[in-house]
């Protein structure tokens, strides 16, 4: 098991890039709460929608990330994330071993690993993976009678943490619910009093977990928020694409291949159980398999969650697949060889192109070299906004500049009205007439873009601005470009730092 975990550690060690993603905003959220006691309830980072209400459903994660970064730096934050991730895999792998055997659990981990390493960014979802594993451990050990009723009261306590760390806290309710459902089925088929007693106990715990879900700053509204968060999503976030949506699109998404392999393996394991070992069918495991499959099918952001759950679910189904006495003896005595083989297979199936692609970059911990360049430049030169920026870089700018400057937009679709993207953001990127008129109305003096923006609209917008005589590029690195208006308050910066348009276009092509 140690070898598999060591490989997982190695494949997670990527430097932090703040110029895309949410981490910068989480750190700023934590800073505001710790230093100023401010828990935002409106979109205070944006000057375009400063009063739009939203529910800060991951405020606790921001506090944890901020405290770790303040105490141990970004290297410490990387190590803490890796520790959480490894603990999570260990818990799922340990459960898979308990429900089947180490060899089957190890091979299941090999199948799932290529998806797991794609979730290498430091995000609140890491706590969902960890807490899901803890819930499953406790519920399964209770089912196997290794834990008593009192141990289940840890679940509401964990739920209080979960509801304040990540919006997927609803999984805690679902996990208790599926084990309760299985227990209710047993109470109808078994006339002994034990299944009824256990059903009553799980019902009590379910009620406590539901109550714990309301113990967040937004109360019942926060507990119900997962039901409504996607209703206002008008920005086409790639991670919200469904599997059919990716298949219909023109871009290549290699993790989809590994997802389909894991899905096929899980599906075949259920075929095996129903045809060869029907007496061992777990209705809780069946419901969990259907749930995580549906979640991943609907949104590719759930591939990681699916892979973690598929590991023990597949292993549990295949428990008797290698159950012969001679075979069992071989697996027992050859654990080291099995782990070595699994590790070798893992390194083979995760090709260098896959591992280093998708923005994962090179090995390392802490901040990637140069990732702070744009933020440092804007602060050092005291550039005066308002700033117009693209969606991906909003959290980076909030981290570096708030409260001195606010952003136009950041990567939280739920923090903006749906009409904002359709009537304001995209028209500014697509229409020159709209841009010229609206940029004057907003008095935009600075443009900050992640020029790696995948959208054609964003790329074309930046090319037009570089060629626009009204704007001067003053900063450019591997991720970010900064332009300032020639007739604005930053003219002195142009004299010191103006870059050649030809050089910018050649580097960005």
User: What does the alpha-carbon distance between residue 10 and residue 362 come to, in Å, rounded to a whole number?
Assistant: 11
Interval 142-191: pLDDT, tens:
999 999 999 999 999 999 999 999 999 999 999 999 999 999 888 887 66
pTM of the predicted structure, to 2 decimals:
0.90
Interval 14-48: pLDDT, tens:
888 888 889 999 999 999 999 999 998 899 999 99
Contact criterion met (CB below 8 Å) for 291 and 339: no
Interval 39-95: pLDDT, tens:
988 999 999 999 999 888 899 999 999 999 999 999 999 999 999 999 999 999 999
Q: Which residue has the higher pLDDT, 354 or 311?
A: 311
> In CATH, what class is 373-508?
alpha beta
390 φ, ψ (degrees, to nearest 5): -90, 170
Q: Write out the residue limits of the CATH 3.40.190 domain(s) in the chain.
A: 373-508
Long-range pairs for 329-337: beta carbons < 8 A, 24 or more residues apart: 331/101, 331/102, 331/103, 335/102, 335/103
Sheet holding 387-389, edge to edge: 387-389, 446-450, 480-485, 471-476
pLDDT value of position 248: 83
Helix (H, G, I), strand (E, B) or coil at 277: coil
pLDDT value of position 325: 40
Contact criterion met (CB below 8 Å) for 209 and 179: no
User: What does the alpha-carbon distance between residue 123 and residue 144 come to, in Å, rounded to a whole number?
Assistant: 33
Asked whether the predicted pLDDT for residue 342 surpasses 80, the reply is no
User: Residue 12's closest CA among 127, 128, 117?
Assistant: 117
**Average pLDDT taken over every residue of the chain:** 87
Tokens, residue 228: 């409504």
């Amino acid at each position: 098991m140690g070898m598999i975990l060591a490989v997982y550690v190695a494949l997670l060690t990527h430097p932090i890039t703040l110029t895309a993603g949410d981490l910068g905003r989480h750190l700023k959220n934590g800073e505001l709460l710790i230093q100023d006691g401010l828990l935002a309830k409106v979109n205070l980072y944006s000057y375009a929608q400063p009063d739009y209400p939203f529910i800060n459903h991951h405020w606790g994660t921001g506090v944890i990330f901020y405290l770790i970064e303040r105490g141990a730096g970004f290297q410490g934050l990387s190590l803490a994330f890796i520790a959480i991730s490894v603990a999570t895999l260990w818990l799922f792998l340990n459960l898979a071993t308990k429900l089947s055997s180490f060899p089957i659990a190890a091979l299941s981990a090999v199948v799932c690993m290529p998806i797991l390493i794609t979730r290498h960014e430091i995000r609140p979802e890491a706590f969902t993976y960890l807490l899901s594993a803890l819930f499953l451990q406790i519920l399964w050990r209770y089912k196997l009678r290794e834990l008593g009723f009192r141990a289940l009261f840890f679940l509401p306590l964990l739920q209080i943490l979960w509801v304040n760390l990540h919006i997927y806290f609803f999984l805690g309710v679902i996990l208790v619910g599926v084990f309760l459902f299985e227990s209710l089925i047993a109470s109808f088929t078994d006339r002994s009093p034990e299944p009824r007693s256990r059903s009553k106990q799980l019902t009590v715990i379910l009620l406590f977990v539901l109550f714990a879900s309301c113990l967040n700053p937004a109360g019942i509204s926060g507990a119900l928020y997962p039901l409504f968060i996607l209703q206002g999503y008008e920005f086409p976030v790639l991670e919200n694409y469904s599997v059919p949506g990716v298949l219909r699109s023109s871009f290549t998404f290699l993790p989809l291949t590994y997802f389909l392999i894991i899905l096929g393996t899980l599906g075949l394991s259920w075929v095996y159980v129903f045809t060869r070992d029907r007496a061992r069918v777990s209705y809780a495991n069946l419901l969990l398999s259907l749930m995580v499959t549906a979640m991943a099918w609907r949104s590719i952001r759930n591939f990681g969650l699916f892979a973690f759950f598929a590991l023990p679910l597949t292993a549990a189904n295949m428990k008797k697949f290698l159950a012969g006495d001679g075979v069992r003896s071989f697996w027992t005595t050859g654990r080291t060889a099995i782990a070595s083989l699994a590790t070798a297979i893992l390194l083979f199936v995760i090709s260098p192109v896959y591992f280093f692609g998708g923005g994962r970059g090179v090995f390392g911990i802490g901040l990637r070299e140069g990732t702070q360049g744009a933020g440092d430049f804007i602060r050092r030169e005291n550039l005066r906004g308002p700033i117009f920026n693209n969606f991906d870089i909003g959290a980076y700018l909030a981290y570096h500049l708030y409260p001195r400057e606010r952003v136009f937009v950041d990567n939280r679709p739920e923090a903006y009205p749906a009409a904002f993207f359709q009537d304001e953001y995209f028209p500014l990127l697509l229409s020159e007439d709209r841009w010229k008129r609206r940029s004057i109305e907003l008095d935009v003096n600075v443009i900050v873009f992640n020029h790696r923006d995948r959208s054609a609209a964003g790329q074309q917008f930046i090319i037009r601005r570089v060629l626009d005589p009204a704007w001067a590029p003053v900063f450019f690195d591997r991720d970010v470009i900064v332009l300032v208006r020639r007739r604005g308050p930053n003219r002195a910066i142009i004299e010191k730092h103006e870059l050649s348009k030809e050089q910018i276009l050649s580097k960005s092509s």
